[in-house]
């Protein structure tokens, strides 16, 4: 056994202080989230019921449920994922596995960083000009979802590229030495080992897509539309816009109603994220390194 000495005791005290400091910072970050959830549950939990979740708004949105907004949000999120994830993963594969280090690649990386910093209202105007007017999709789920897909594309690209670069180069070299092509190596070795990191970007995209208001307000979400959409070319209500409307535009709304809508929106995002995280944990458990 090693005998304790003043230096070891001093290092142990410093380590303890650093540990306490990090614990306090973690608690400081978690506390506002817990307070927000507590307030929402306290003020909006009582309104949550079967009728609230599975009926249409009534009496000028001062009563009834949120079914059209709930289903519309699912439509928008799913179509945005279908549009953005394949493109984002393909772009990340090119930048990580194929692109040389030259001015063009650096320009693309700079454009991705700049795109991530563009305000959502600018994306909304882009969506109106590109998808609503130029491609003539009209104000629809498709236009709203494509706008959100463009807005969240940098998240998918960056997370995928980092995941691909985290796969050890020895895996690629071993595959190449067996005679596999570059694409065979990417498809059979690199992507399976990077899939859990790719899902991290998908989780972040789901959270942002479900909560955005400005892009969908101009491109596809309706103020009041008490029926369910039948295709991507229909307009739809959405949870985020519905929450904004009943909180600021509709008079005589019961106090619990906005809190209930916010609670359902957060719960929906948590469920989607939980499913993605569970799948990611399962895939990480199958890793060999």
Backbone angles phi, psi at 278, to 5 degrees: -60, -40
Given a contact cutoff of 8 angstroms between Cβ atoms, the answer to whether 256 and 43 are in contact is yes
| Mean pLDDT on 52-73 | 88
Reported as a single tens digit per residue, the pLDDT across 225-263 is 888 888 899 999 999 999 989 988 888 888 889 999 999
Q: Around Cβ 33, how many Cβ atoms within 10 Å?
A: 10
- What pLDDT band is residue 25 in, cutting at 50, 70 and 90? very high
Q: Around Cβ 158, how many Cβ atoms within 10 Å?
A: 19
- What pLDDT band is residue 76 in, cutting at 50, 70 and 90? very high
| Mean pLDDT on 124-145 | 92
3-state SS record for the chain = CCCCCHHHHHHHHHHHHHHHHHHHHHHHHHHHHHHHHHHHHHHHHHHCCHHHHHCCEECCCCEECCHHHHHHHHHHHHHHHHHHHHHHHHHHHHHHHHCCCCHHHHHHHHHHHHHHCCCHHHHHHHHHHHHHHHCCCCCCHHHHHHHHHHHHHHHHHHHHHHHHHHCCHHHHHHHHHCCCCHHHHHHHHHHHHHHHHHHHHHHHHHHHHHHCCHHHHHHCECCCCCCCCCCCCCCECCHHHHHHHHHHCCCCCCCHHHHHHHHHHHHHHHHHHHHHHHHHHHHHHCCCC
| Mean pLDDT on 70-76 | 92
Q: CA angle 171-173-179, nearest 5°?
A: 110
- Closest to 139 (Cα-Cα) out of 76, 184, 82: 76
Q: Around Cβ 54, how many Cβ atoms within 10 Å?
A: 12
**What pLDDT is attached to residue 4?**
67
| Mean pLDDT on 73-88 | 92
Mean of pLDDT over the chain = 87
pLDDT over 90 (residue 198): no
**What pLDDT is attached to residue 196?**
80
**What pLDDT is attached to residue 3?**
66
pLDDT over 60 (residue 1): no
Given a contact cutoff of 8 angstroms between Cβ atoms, the answer to whether 195 and 283 are in contact is yes
**What pLDDT is attached to residue 223?**
86
**What pLDDT is attached to residue 62?**
84
pLDDT over 90 (residue 83): yes
Backbone angles phi, psi at 77, to 5 degrees: -65, -45
- What span, in angstroms and rounded, lies between the C-alpha atoms of 246 and 252? 9
End-to-end CA distance of the chain: 34
pLDDT over 70 (residue 2): no
**What pLDDT is attached to residue 188?**
87
- Closest to 154 (Cα-Cα) out of 123, 126, 185: 123
Q: Which residue has the higher pLDDT, 1 or 274?
A: 274
pLDDT over 80 (residue 141): yes
Given a contact cutoff of 8 angstroms between Cβ atoms, the answer to whether 230 and 15 are in contact is no
What pTM does this model have?
0.85
Percent of the chain surpassing pLDDT 90: 33
pLDDT over 60 (residue 133): yes
pLDDT over 70 (residue 89): yes
- The domain spans of the chain are 6-38, 50-285
- 50-285, superfamily in CATH? MetI-like (1.10.3720.10)
- What span, in angstroms and rounded, lies between the C-alpha atoms of 236 and 40? 25
């Amino acid at each position: 056994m090693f005998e304790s000495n003043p230096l070891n005791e001093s290092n142990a005290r410093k380590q303890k202080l650093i540990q306490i400091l990090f614990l306090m910072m973690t608690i400081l970050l978690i506390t506002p989230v817990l307070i927000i959830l507590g307030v929402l549950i306290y003020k909006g939990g009582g309104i949550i019921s079967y009728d609230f979740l599975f009926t249409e708004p009534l009496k000028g949105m001062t009563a009834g449920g949120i079914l059209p907004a709930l289903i519309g949000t699912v439509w928008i999120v799913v179509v945005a994922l279908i549009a953005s994830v394949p493109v984002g993963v393909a772009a990340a594969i090119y930048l990580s596995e194929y692109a040389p280090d030259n001015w063009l690649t650096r320009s693309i990386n700079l454009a991705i960083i700049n795109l991530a910093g563009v305000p959502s209202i600018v994306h909304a105007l882009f969506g109106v000009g590109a998808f609503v007017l130029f491609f003539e999709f009209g104000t629809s789920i498709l236009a709203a979802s494509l706008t959100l897909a463009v807005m969240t594309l940098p998240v998918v690209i960056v997370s995928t590229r980092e995941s691909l670069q985290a796969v050890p180069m020895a895996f690629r070299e071993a595959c190449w030495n067996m005679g596999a092509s570059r694409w065979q190596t990417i498809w059979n070795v690199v992507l399976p080992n990077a899939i859990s990191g790719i899902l991290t970007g998908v989780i972040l995209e789901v959270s942002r897509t479900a909560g955005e208001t400005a892009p969908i307000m101009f491109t596809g979400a309706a103020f009041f539309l008490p029926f369910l959409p039948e295709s991507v070319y229909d307009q739809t209500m959405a949870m985020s816009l519905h929450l904004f409307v009943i909180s600021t535009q509709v008079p005589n709304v019961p106090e619990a109603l906005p809190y209930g809508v916010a609670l359902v929106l957060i719960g929906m995002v948590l469920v989607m994220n939980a499913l993605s995280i569970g799948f990611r944990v399962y895939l990480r458990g199958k890793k060999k390194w």
